[in-house]
Structure 1
């Protein structure tokens, strides 16, 4: 059995889910976690953030319900409304980081979200990945050089296809998978206790 975490680095609810994800993965260190970029802002949704008038209100709600931090750097980045969230670039970035440290993808995904939502760093900027790599003790040159590699682009597209294959259209979604059987542990928002109960119920059905 394993966990599958489908998120988007530019999704505020995914950022808010980080504390629960951290607790769940620490409670079940024996479970591998597959981290998948969902592709929230691609195609026609890759527009200036001012086009999404709900963002500020949603962030306030996320902070209220989850305690997630939205930093001054982030506020400055989006202040004039011109910033464009590009999930394809963020997915390539995650793929480059994942390639450097495959067993630390949960940590790296959360580090990306911290870089954007707290520090206000663009996930389309190679310098952001250099900073994230340095903070997480990875070889920064290897990560930044991988960003535009064809393999990294293919990995990002494979993530989007994987999310679609799993039927995930809301982020974040946390799944438990045992061979062909898959169940939803969290969608959008859930406490650690809720995830534990759903996982226990899934395990029970598999062992009965």
Structure 2
């Protein structure tokens, strides 16, 4: 039995959900967590214009109200020529997994989110992603340099593995992020779709586990 989290680090609702998911994993330490990156806007090439930026602000406000997590709107609005391509940041999660397995992977995911939403960093840039991810990996006792991480991130094998994650998300029937699932004996059960509090998630999980016993 394990949890499967399908999300994208540059999805605002996934950012808001991060604290709740971390709290849940602390409450159910016996359940492993598999992270599948969904590729919300993977491969996007269109430059985000002023209207596109402003369209996102009400969503950010709602996430902020529910989660209590901050957003750096000023840095986002000031960014010019920004292509909202989430493939690079998803691939950074995959690169971390290739380097360290699941060790600290949720921390890497959340640190990448913090880099984008709070620090206003360009999380479509491989070098920026490497610096962010290495910081999180070091905090989890994983020894890797920024250059080593970047080389893993840029490798063809990592690109292919990220694509496999996107395909897995679709195969799981996920069409919105965040989505939390429970796998038991090869069967998949929904735990949460969209933002949910840790208490609601824990309740749903306990209900599921009771049915499966």
TM over 0.5: yes
Deviations 1:38-74 (A, max 9, x none): 111135x542233634201110111011112113xx6
Give 1:34's aligned residue: 34
Q: Give the aligned length.
A: 204
**Conserved 8 A contact 1:2-1:177:** yes
**Distance between the aligned counterparts of 1:81 and 1:126, measured in 2?**
18
**Distance between the aligned counterparts of 1:120 and 1:191, measured in 2?**
26
Gaps of 5+ in 2: none
Tell me the secondary structure at the aligned position of residue 54 of structure 1: helix
**Distance between the aligned counterparts of 1:121 and 1:198, measured in 2?**
35
**Distance between the aligned counterparts of 2:115 and 2:203, measured in 1?**
32
Question: After the TM superposition, which of the residue ranges 9-18 and 94-103 deviates more from structure 2?
Answer: 94-103
Gaps of 5+ in 1: none
What's the C-alpha RMSD, in Å, of the aligned pairs?
A: 1.7
Give 1:96's aligned residue: 95
Shift of 1:123: 1.7
1:62 counterpart = 2:66: no
TM-score, with length taken from structure 2: 0.89
**Distance between the aligned counterparts of 1:60 and 1:82, measured in 2?**
23
Shift of 1:159: 0.6
Q: 1:83 to 1:193 in 2, by over 3 A?
A: same
Deviations 1:155-201 (A, max 9, x none): 11011001001000110111111123222212111011110111111
1:166 counterpart = 2:172: yes
Q: 1:46 to 1:176 in 2, by over 3 A?
A: farther
Deviations 1:112-169 (A, max 9, x none): 1011111111222122223223422141222111111111001110110010010001
Tell me the secondary structure at the aligned position of residue 104 of structure 2: helix
TM-score, with length taken from structure 1: 0.91
1:206 counterpart = 2:212: yes
Moved over 6 A (4+): none
Shift of 1:24: 0.4
